[in-house]
Amino acid sequence: MDLKELVEIGEKQRNSAKKIRIHCCNAAGCISSNSSAVKDKLEIAVKEAGLQETVEVAKVGCMKFCGRGPLVQVEPAGTLYEQVKPEDAASIVAVLKGEEATAKTGNANHPFFTRQMPVVLENSGKINPEKIEEYIAAGGYQPLYRVIYEMSPNEVIDELSHSGLRGRGGAGYPTGLKWATVAKMSGEQKYVICNADEGDPGAFMDRAVLESDPHRVLEGMAIAAYAVGANSGYIYIRAEYPLAIDRLQKAIKQAKKLGILGSQIFDSPFDFKIDIRVGAGAFVCGEETALIASVEGKRGNPRPRPPYPAESGLWGCPTLINNVETFANIAPIVREGGDWYRSIGTEKSKGTKVFALTGKVKNTGLIEVPMGTTVRQIVEEMGGGVSNGGVVKAVQTGGPSGGCIPADALDTPVDYEHLRELGTIMGSGGIIVIDNNTNMVDVAKFYMEFCQQESCGKCVPCRAGTVQMYEILDKIYHKRANIADIDKLEALCHMVRDMSLCGLGQSAPNPVLSTLRYFREEYLELI
C-alpha cells in the first residue's frame, strides 16, 4: 500500500457516496434508546420511497447530543432529528420528497453545537466507525504515511512538543516531553499503551471516541510508536465497553488487512502491532503502574514511582502510556501542524478538550470546546442551564479526584491552571452540574464512597483513611456529628492526601476539601 493507493481508496469511497446521507447515531448512548431499530426502519423507508439511488442510510458514531437520542441527521442539509422513534422513519424520508416532518426536529444551530470546535471529534457522527474506507476518505492514515516517509522520529516529537499538547488522562503532562523521554531510552523493546480505562463516574468521552472513530486512536498510537521506537502496543479497555472493544477489534483487523498495521507498515521497515487487553473495570487500573501490572497479568496494584513507565514500564521495558483522547489529537496535529494546534486554547493549555456534560443540566451530551471556554458558556449557553428551572449551585469537574467550582466562579476559563487555582482539576473531562437542591455533604459523601470501594488496599492511608473519612461524612450527613468531627475530617484529608501511594489516595480527599472550602456552612448546618 502506498500513498496513491490510499488516496484511491478514499476517492472510491467518496465517489460511491450517495447524494443524500441519513446519519443515524450508532454509539452506546443512542443504541440504548433503540437507534438500531431506527436505522433499520430508515432503510426500509428509503426503499419503499424508491430513493435508493440517491439516498443512503449510514450508521455513524456519537452525534453529541446524547440526552436527546436517538439522533438522526440528514446531510448535506444538516436537518437534525431528536428522540427519533422507529415509526418516525417514514416521515423523515418523506421530507426528502418535500413533505412536512412529523418527527421531532432539533436545532443544529444551537450553541450546544455552534460553540463546539471538533478536532478529536471531527469525524464523530459523520463516518461509519466500522468502515476503514470512510476514515480514509476523511483523510485518515495520510498523516501516518507522511510521518513514516517524510519525517524523522525527532521531527515528529519536535512538532508535537511545539503543538503544546498535554495529556488528556488527567494530570496534563506535556505529551511531547513524555514521547521524547521514551524515545531517548535505550533498549531494544519498547511499548506503547493506550489508556482506555475511563473509570470516573459520569465520564464517557473516551468511550465515544473509540465507538465513533477508532482508527483515529490506532493512527495516533502508530505515529507514537514510530516516534519512540516501539513495535508493539496495547489498548487497555474496560470490559464495560463491549461496543468500543468490538469496533476496535474490527478496526485493527481492517488496518492490518490493508498493511497499515502489523509488519512493514506502508511497505516501510516500520512494524507495529496492537493488541487489546480488557480490564475488569477497577478504577485504580487507570493508574498507569496498576494498568501495566494488569496488562502483565498481575493484580492491578500501583507501585511507587520512580521508576516511571517511560523508564521501566511493561515487563520492565520503556513504555509510553497516553490517554485515548491524547492519541486522538495526534493525527490532526501532524496533518495541520503544531502552529495550528498552538493557536487554539490558552497560554499554557493548548487545543480543545472533550467533556461529558451531565448532571442537572438541560442539554446533556458530549462537547468539544477550545481550552479557555468559560464554565458559564459551557453550562449556561451550551448546556442551557439547570433542568427543571433550578439554579446552578456548583459544577463538579475531575470526578472523584476533583472538586467543585462554586456558582460565583462560573466565569473561570476552563484550562489546567485555572481549575487548579480553584482547587479542582481538569481530570479526564467529566463536567457534572449540581443544582441548589443538592446537598454538598452528600456530594462529598458520594465520591468518598466511590474511592473507598475502589481503593486497591495496598497502602494504609488510602485503604483505612477513606473508610474513616466516609464514616465521618456519613455521620455529619445524618446529623450525628459534632464540630470536632469536622476538624478530624480535615486532618485526615491532609494526611491521606500527603501519605498515600498513588493518585487515587492522594486525590481522594479533594471532593471533601473542595466542598469544605466553598460550602463549609452546609457542613456546619448539619452539626
Partner 1 sequence: MAVKTLKINDIYVAVEEGLTILKAAQEAGIYIPTLCHLEGVSDIGACRMCMVEVEGINKLLPACVTEVAEEMVVRTNTAKLKEYRRMNMELLFAEGNHVCSVCVVNGNCELQNLAVEVGMEHCRFSYRFPDKPVDISHPQFGIDHNRCILCTRCVRVCDEVEGAHVWDIAHRGEECKIISGLNQPWGEVDACTSCGKCVNACPTGSIFHKSTPVAVMKRDRGSLEFLSTAREKKQWTR
Ligand X SMILES: Cc1cc2nc3c(=O)[nH]c(=O)nc-3n(C[C@H](O)[C@H](O)[C@H](O)COP(=O)(O)O)c2cc1C
Residues forming the site for partner 1 (CB under 8 A)? 282, 284, 299, 303-304, 452-461, 463-468, 471, 488, 491-492, 495, 498-501
Closest approach, Cβ 478 to partner 1, in A, equals 14
Window 323-352: residues binding ligand X (CB under 6 A): 323, 326
- Closest residue to ligand SF4, based on beta-carbon distance: 505
Instruction: Give the residue with the Cβ less far from ligand X, 171 or 526.
Output: 171
How many helices and strands, by DSSP H and E, does the chain display? 23, 14
By the rule CB under 6 A, 282 interacts with ligand X: no
Among ligand X, partner 1, ligand SF4, none, residue 67 binds (CB under 5-8 Å by kind): none
d(CA 240, CA 50): 40
d(CA 324, CA 267): 27
Picking from 106, 19, 92, 15, the residue whose alpha carbon sits closest to that of residue 63 is 106
d(CA 107, CA 101): 14
Closest approach, Cβ 38 to ligand X, in A, equals 31
Closest approach, Cβ 206 to ligand SF4, in A, equals 20
Among ligand X, ligand SF4, partner 1, none, residue 197 binds (CB under 5-8 Å by kind): ligand X
Among ligand X, ligand SF4, partner 1, none, residue 380 binds (CB under 5-8 Å by kind): none
Among ligand X, partner 1, ligand SF4, none, residue 170 binds (CB under 5-8 Å by kind): ligand X
Preceding peptide of 309 cis, ω within 30°: no
Query: DSSP labels for 364-420?
Result: -EEEEEETT-BHHIIIIIIT-SBGGG--EEEEEESGGG-EEEEGGGTT-B-SHHHHH
By the rule CB under 6 A, 430 interacts with ligand X: no
d(CA 192, CA 461): 32
By the rule CB under 6 A, 71 interacts with ligand X: no
The site for ligand X, by CB under 6 A, has a size of 23
By the rule CB under 6 A, 399 interacts with ligand X: no
Instruction: Give the residue with the Cβ less far from ligand X, 358 or 363.
Output: 358
Among ligand SF4, partner 1, ligand X, none, residue 464 binds (CB under 5-8 Å by kind): partner 1
Instruction: Give the residue with the Cβ less far from ligand X, 257 or 299.
Output: 299
d(CA 328, CA 261): 17
Query: DSSP labels for 453-490?
Result: HH--S-SHHHHHHHHHHHHHHHHHHTT---HHHHHHHH
User: Phi and psi dihedrals of 327, rounded to 5?
Assistant: -65, -35
Do 402 and 425 form a contact (C-beta atoms < 8 A)?
Answer: yes
Q: List 356's β-bridge partners, or say none.
A: 366, 430
Nine-digit cell string for 193 = 499503551
Instruction: Give the residue with the Cβ less far from ligand X, 70 or 302.
Output: 302
Among ligand SF4, partner 1, ligand X, none, residue 198 binds (CB under 5-8 Å by kind): ligand X
Closest approach, Cβ 281 to partner 1, in A, equals 12
Closest approach, Cβ 131 to ligand X, in A, equals 27
Do 397 and 169 form a contact (C-beta atoms < 8 A)?
Answer: no
Instruction: Give the residue with the Cβ less far from ligand SF4, 273 or 463.
Output: 463
Instruction: Give the residue with the Cβ less far from ligand X, 44 or 464.
Output: 464
Window 303-322: residues binding ligand X (CB under 6 A): 321-322
d(CA 71, CA 59): 11
Q: Which residues sit at the interface with ligand X, rule CB under 6 A?
A: 167-171, 173, 195, 197-199, 283-284, 286-288, 321-323, 326, 428, 502-504
